């Protein structure tokens, strides 16, 4: 057990090993660990819990906002600051519950709220260029991009999909697992870090879903099945992966992500993350008239409002097409270009707007109408 008035570092280490490690997913534990050991504990770790006041925490947050970037010593993003504050808040909340602190100092602090991130969606022209490249050579890595683009699956879900998840008769895929590369920490928290690929259940219960695949992905699955046999000399078993590497094993999601970035650079397209394929899939579905509740189910969102928040906003191209379709009902107007708009010659100098001019214009309009 801890002493009566431990330092924040002593409490945080106890909290991580006792409450976080047994319950959190490896990725969640990594998130808590990194925020504590990279930002919070180097500045506040020696402070006794009884001395960890709101002004002390506020000064820390202000300093991190100005100089918390570990790469260049510059400002820390509002999102990173928010994440750090959340970790410290949960840590202190548990300390209060266990009787090591009288009150949690974090909720009374203030910080710059971060705006919701803008989703990255590929334009129609960029998607066309990418598709032409992908289908010219459906390599093992290109197959992983195609799967994400036409299913809306997350990167970890694409790489973790196995043949036992695929029902060829019905043409559907059961999304149940995800995989990601995370940092593994030993129990003493100070030993050398190492990374490894870790499988876990999907993000939430709603993320566990069944996708009825479009023809392009059913064709891709059939091709992958035959290609696996050619590479390994055997038919794929239930635990083999649909998207696999050159040895027939697990496709490292980091490798697929980096490759996608290289493809975009090679094609001269704007850089977006692999996750933009998911956003592009959802946006195209909405534009094609798929109802938002169905899109939400396809993406595995826990709440349809999440889908609405991200994907119901029209894109610039869609708004341009909508505005170009609007025109006068009357036949009195014939399109001649905005420089020769009837009744409004652009070559005449514009008079200054005065009350007298406004009155004359209103009178002229009334006469025309009557």
Distance CA 282, CA 208 (A): 17
* Sequence-ordered list of residues with C-beta below 8 angstroms from that of 125, at least 6 positions apart, any chain: none
State pLDDT tens for residues 140-183.
999 999 999 999 999 999 999 999 999 999 999 999 999 988 87
Determine what percent of the chain falls in helix, strand and coil, rounding each to the nearest 5. Answer: 50, 10, 40
The reported pLDDT for the residue numbered 325 is: 78
Residues of the chain with CATH 1.10.443.10: 124-316
**Lowest-confidence pick of 3-17, 216-230, 322-336, 342-356:** 342-356
Q: What is the token pair recorded at 1?
A: 């057990």
More confident residue, 154 or 203: 154
Q: Using the predicted structure, report yes or no on whether residue 344 has a pLDDT greater than 50.
A: no
Q: Is the pLDDT of residue 340 over 70?
A: no
- Dump pLDDT digits (tens) for 253-310: 999 999 999 999 999 999 999 999 999 999 899 888 888 889 898 998 877 877 877 7
Q: Which residues of 271-304 are buried (b: 16+ CB within 10 A; e: fewer)?
A: ebebebbbbbbbbbbbeeeeebeebbbbbbbeee
pTM over 0.75: no
Domain 8-97 sits in CATH at 1.10.150
Q: Are 280 and 122 in contact (CB under 8 A)?
A: yes
CB-side neighbour CA atoms (13 Å) of 200: 17
CA-wise closest residue to 301 among 189, 204, 157: 204
Residue that has been written with the tokens 């889908």 in this structure = 307
In the CATH scheme, what architecture does the domain 124-316 have? Orthogonal Bundle (1.10)
CB contact at 8 A, 240 and 222: no
Provide the mean pLDDT of the chain: 86
pLDDT at position 356: 63
Classify residue 243 as exposed, middle or buried by CB count within 10 Å of its CB (0-12, 13-18, 19+): buried
Of the pLDDT bands very low, low, confident and very high (cuts 50, 70, 90), residue 77 is: confident
Residue 145's alpha-carbon distances to 182, 245, 264, 279, in angstroms, are: 22, 13, 11, 13
Percentage of the chain lying above the pLDDT 90 cut: 58
Pairing of β 172-175 and β 166-167: antiparallel
Q: Where in the chain is the domain with CATH 1.10.150?
A: 8-97
**What is the predicted pLDDT for the residue at 194?**
77
Query: Residue 79 above 50 pLDDT?
Result: yes
- On the CB side of 94, how many CA atoms lie within 13 Å of its CA? 16
């Amino acid at each position: 057990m801890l002493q009566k008035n431990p330092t924040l570092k002593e409490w945080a280490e106890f909290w991580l090993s006792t409450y976080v490690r047994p319950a959190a997913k490896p990725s969640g534990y990594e998130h808590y660990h990194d925020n504590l050991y990279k930002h919070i504990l180097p500045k506040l770790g020696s402070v006794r819990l009884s001395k960890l006041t709101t002004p002390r925490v506020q000064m820390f947050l202000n300093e991190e906002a100005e100089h918390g970037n570990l790469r260049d010593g510059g400002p820390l993003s509002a999102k990173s600051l928010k994440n750090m504050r959340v970790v410290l808040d949960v840590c202190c909340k548990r300390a209060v519950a266990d009787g090591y602190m009288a009150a949690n100092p974090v909720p009374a602090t203030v910080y710059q709220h971060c705006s919701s991130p803008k989703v990255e969606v590929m334009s129609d022209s960029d998607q066309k260029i990418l598709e032409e490249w992908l289908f010219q050579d459906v390599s093992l890595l290109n197959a992983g991009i195609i799967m994400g683009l036409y299913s809306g699956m997350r990167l970890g879900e694409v790489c973790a999909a196995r043949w036992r998840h695929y029902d060829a008769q019905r043409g559907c895929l059961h999304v149940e697992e995800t995989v990601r590369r995370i940092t593994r920490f030993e129990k003493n928290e100070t030993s050398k870090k190492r990374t490894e690929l870790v499988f876990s259940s999907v993000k939430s219960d709603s993320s566990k879903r069944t996708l009825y695949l479009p023809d392009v992905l059913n064709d891709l699955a059939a091709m992958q099945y035959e290609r696996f046999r050619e590479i390994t000399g055997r038919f794929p078993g239930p635990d083999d992966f649909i998207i696999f590497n050159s040895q027939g094993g697990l496709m490292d999601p980091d490798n697929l992500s980096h490759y996608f970035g290289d493809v975009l650079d090679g094609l001269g397209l704007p850089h977006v993350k692999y996750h933009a394929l998911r956003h592009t899939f959802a946006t195209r579905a909405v534009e094609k008239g798929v109802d938002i509740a169905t899109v939400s189910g396809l993406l595995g969102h826990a709440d349809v409002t999440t889908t609405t928040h991200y994907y119901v906003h029209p894109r610039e191209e869609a708004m341009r097409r909508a505005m170009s379709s609007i025109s006068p009902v009357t036949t009195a107007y014939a399109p001649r270009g905005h420089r020769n708009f009837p009744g409004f010659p652009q070559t005449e100098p514009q008079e200054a707007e005065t009350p007298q001019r406004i009155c004359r214009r209103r009178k002229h309009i009334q006469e025309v109408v009557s």
